[in-house]
Amino acid sequence: MNTKLQPIFDTHKGKDGALLPILHDIQHALGYVPEEAVPLIAKQLNLSRAEVHGVITYYHHFRQTPPGKHVVQLCCAEACQANGSEALAAHAAKRLQGADVTLEPVYCLGLCSIGPAVLIGEDELHAHVTPQKFDALMNGLGVKK
């Protein structure tokens, strides 16, 4: 774990408020922030384990367990809700049962006029996602029913 984190720590060495950037970098590199990373981050930043844990759990963005093969984020903010994102979320949860996909709610992807919106991975945005379109996207990813 130490060898994975050291380059990240080095990048942020001496910077004020380095905790969030470090957590982002770790999640980017590993897909999540492992439990074992917390004491190392704490030591690096002269914080306690509890403090780091508090920050990780405060932000829903940070994962404490490894994600599935694919990460699908579904916008649940007001505009998308008005366009049926709640129904889409229910459909998605059913469709993805047992699949190696992490489905997460997200609050606004900036596509309010063309919702419901979905983000696959880090940068693949989709608008006007209906349940049918969602299924097609998942089939495209090879996610089995």
Partner 1 sequence: MNELDYGTPAVTSDREVTLNIDGVAVTVPAGTSVMRAAVKAGVMIPKLCATDSLAPFGSCRLCLVEVEGRRGYPSSCTTPVEAGMKVKTQTPKLADLRRNVMELYISDHPLDCLTCAANGNCELQTMAGAVGLREVRYGMAGANHFTDVKKDESNPYFTYDPAKCIVCNRCVRACEEQQGTFALTISGRGFESRVTAGQSDSFMESDCVSCGACVNACPTATLMEKSVIAKGQAEHDVTTTCAYCGVGCGFKAEMKGSEVVRMVPWKDGKANEGHSCVKGRFAWGYATHKDRITKPMIRAKTSDPWREVSWEEAFAHAAKEFRRIQDKYGKNSIGALVSSRCTNEEDYLVQKLVRAAFGNNNVDTCARVCHAPTGYGLGQTLGTSAGTQTFKSLEKADVLLLIGINPTEGHPVVGARLKKRVREGAKLIVIDPREIDMVNAPHARATHHLKLRPGTNVAMLSALAHVIVTEGLINEQFIAERCETQAFADWREFAARPANSPEAMEAVTGVPAAEIRAAARLYATGGNAAIFYGLGVTEHSQGSTAVIAIANLAMATGNVGREGVGVNPLRGQNNVQGSCDMGGFPDIFPGYRHVSDAATRELFEKAWGVSLQAEPGLRIPNMLEAALDGGFKGLYCQGEDPAQSDPNTQHVQAALAAMECVVVQDLFLNETAKYAHVFLPGASFLEKDGTFTNAERRISRVRKAMPPLSGKADWETTMALANALGYPMHYEHPSQIMDEIARLTPTFAGVNYDKLERMGSVQWPCNDKSPDGTPLMHVNGFVRGKGRFMNTQYVPTDEKVTPRFPLLLTTGRILSQYNVGAQTRRTENVQFYSEDVLEIHPHDANERGIKDGDWVGIQSRAGDTVLRATVTERVQPGVVYTTFHFPESGANVITTDNSDWATNCPEYKVTAVQLVQVDQPSEWQKRNVREDREQRRLLAVAAAK
Lay out the site mask for partner 1 across 32-71 (x = CB under 8 A, - = otherwise). Answer: ---x--x---xx--xxxxxxxxx--xx-------------
The yes or no reply on residue 108 touching partner 1 (CB under 8 A) is no
Judged by CB, which is closer to partner 1: 11, or 64?
Answer: 64
Residue 121 CB, nearest distance to partner 1 (Å)? 26
Residue 123 CB, nearest distance to partner 1 (Å)? 27
As a whole number of angstroms, the distance between CA 46 and CA 61 comes to 23
**Number of residues binding to partner 1, judged by CB under 8 A:** 15
Judged by CB, which is closer to partner 1: 51, or 104?
Answer: 51
| Binding site residues, partner 1, CB under 8 A | 35, 38, 42-43, 46-54, 57-58
